[in-house]
Structure 1
Amino acid sequence: MELRHLRYFDAVAETLNFTRAAERLHITQSTLSHQIRQLEDELGTPLFDRGGKQVRMTEAGEILRSHMTPALERIDLGLQALRGPAGAITGCIRLGTTPSFNTRMVPQCVATLLNSYPGIQVCVEELAAGQILKRLRSGHLDLAVAYPPGEGSELWFEPLYKEELRLVVGIRHPLARRRRVRMAELHNVRMVLLPSQFLTRKLLDDCFAQASAQPVVVAQLNSVAPMIELIRQTELAGIITETAVSQTADLRVIPLEDPTPVRTPGMLWPKGATHPPVLKHFAEIIRRAAGTAA
């Protein structure tokens, strides 16, 4: 097994398209297919399911990638380190994210990256999902932590985990002592929510409609941290992702049901984009943080 085999495998695993992977690697598709076959023969197991219209990784492929990606990251970083110390590595990573991830997870990931690369600059933009997609397509963002872009998108989406949204109230709220709350019980409850341009708000509106509930939305804030503070200082209720808020002495975080609002966060980036080693390392930091949050 040679390093090039692993790089070829990584390119196909990332794009799930032999044609695009070959273009990225600047080799022919037939050469790439032959090299992948060599790797599969050596390992004694198929890594990709080529049946149907879409290439998919097999279970063996998933296992290999989960162990191989960090190793390739370290190899790339080691090669880069030979050209200069970590502090000499410069550049700017432009990350887009929605409010819930910018409360805890994204700052944690940025801190981890900057501890390794003090010369790197990170520009984080907190945006609605639609704005994130536009800025990725226009080349104004390198990477985003958000939600699936929908069918037919020219963006790649890598799911990270599934998360529930939960009811958040102050300790004096009438629902504060409940272990679970049905969506129907939020009818006429005074609430603070994200504005309607956010996908999370659209998800919640669909859940309210399924439960035939109409909350009284008296405040709309486009950032999660102010929402949490407003809930803390009033008797308003809010619905916030469980990864963005922790249960404290003055707040209660309560599961919702019938239906339970569930989202699938992930990483987004333009198809065919070239990822420098530092950006790949940052993506791996996000994967590890997501694994902790899941």
Structure 2
Amino acid sequence: MEIRTLRYFLAVAREENMTRAAETLHVTQPTLSKSLKRLEDELGKKLFTRHSFSIKLTDEGILLRNRAEDLVSMADRIEQEFISLDDITGGDLYFGLAESFQIRYLAQSIHSFKQTYPDLRYHITSGDTEQVMEKLDKGLLDFVVLAESADVGKYESVVFPEADLWGLVIPEDDPLAKKKAIHVDDLIGLPLFCSEQSWESDIPKWAGDKMSDLHLEGSFRLSYNASIFTKEHLGYLLTFDRLIDTSPESGLVFRPLMPCLETKLYLVWKRYQTFSPIAERFLSQIQSTFTAI
């Protein structure tokens, strides 16, 4: 199975049309059709359902698309790493990021790093722990930022300079907005929004034996989307401070949880990972920077 054939397959999956895919790949349609037929023969599975004016993926095709995207991304990354081996001015870095105001420390480090390596290119993937760790394990990312510590047997990490403060985002006209802090009894019986990961790991540390009295109205991976639902009075958002606009014009307010609940942030990489030269230099700089702060 060749990478070129997988590129052909992904183009057809994306365009859902053989002619358009051939045009984007700059190959003839017969060449493309023969390559895909050989791929189906090699795998022993039908990958496409062909209609009059379009092509749809079969279940086997969807599975291959998911795997092929990772394989092609890895091939592209290997190619770029070798191209940049002799490039002392730049290269590519790949990050998977959790949501936190502390991402500013990472951004500041990248900005400083680019003063020395002006041709640096960086690629950002956002997601929860499960999403970004899967890509890290596959070698598609150099570093991930997690709102939890990682398995020290498999990963190494450096902690960010501060901690994230938990609180509740509330519509400004809601009675709860008058409180200076939120206690667990305030939330009993209310519709709550939170990430599924935090609902299972962080909030129970705060709520204790009253966790079963709390109601998760809906889980969100992005706090911004949850804040829109909150603004429309569909529920209350449990999230980190400084993630959501709670300025006087926003219609929302943030109130800290009491007792205080904080979460540390970690920059994580695989133990014994073979870094590209640019990634190794960046890690050295950010370790020194975080230690100094």
TM-score by length of 1: 0.57
Distance 1:93 1:278, change over 3 A: same
Contact 1:207 1:261 in 2 (8 A): yes
What stretches of structure 2 of length at least 5 have no aligned partner? Answer: 1-85
For 2:232 and 2:287, the matched residues in 1 are separated by 32
For 2:206 and 2:169, the matched residues in 1 are separated by 16
Question: 1:94 Cα deviation (Å)?
Answer: 0.8
For these two proteins, the number of residue pairs brought into alignment is: 203
Question: 1:279 Cα deviation (Å)?
Answer: 5.3
- 1:16-47 per-residue CA deviation (whole Å, 9 max, x = no partner) reads xxxxxxxxxxxxxxxxxxxxxxxxxxxxxxxx
- 1:232-291 per-residue CA deviation (whole Å, 9 max, x = no partner) reads 343521111124235411221111124x33211111011223553565447746986899
Equivalent position of 2:164 in the other structure: 163
Equivalent position of 1:215 in the other structure: 214
For 1:168 and 1:210, the matched residues in 2 are separated by 23
Give the aligned residue type for 1:164. L
For 1:109 and 1:233, the matched residues in 2 are separated by 37
Q: How does 1:138-217 map to 2 (within 5 A)?
A: 138-146=138-146, 147-150=148-151, 152-160=152-160, 161-194=162-195, 196=196, 198-199=197-198, 201-212=200-211, 214-217=213-216
Equivalent position of 2:25 in the other structure: none
Equivalent position of 1:228 in the other structure: 227
What stretches of structure 1 of length at least 5 have no aligned partner? Answer: 1-82
Contact 1:133 1:149 in 2 (8 A): no
Give the aligned residue type for 2:213. Q
Give the match's secondary structure for 1:248.
coil
For 1:157 and 1:177, the matched residues in 2 are separated by 40
Contact 1:183 1:213 in 2 (8 A): no
For 2:112 and 2:229, the matched residues in 1 are separated by 30
Give the match's secondary structure for 1:136.
helix
Give the aligned residue type for 1:269. W
Distance 1:224 1:269, change over 3 A: same
Runs of 4+ with deviation above 4 angstroms: 101-118, 282-292
Equivalent position of 1:257 in the other structure: 258
For 1:144 and 1:91, the matched residues in 2 are separated by 18
Higher gyration radius (CA): 2
For 1:283 and 1:97, the matched residues in 2 are separated by 19
Contact 2:180 2:255 in 1 (8 A): yes
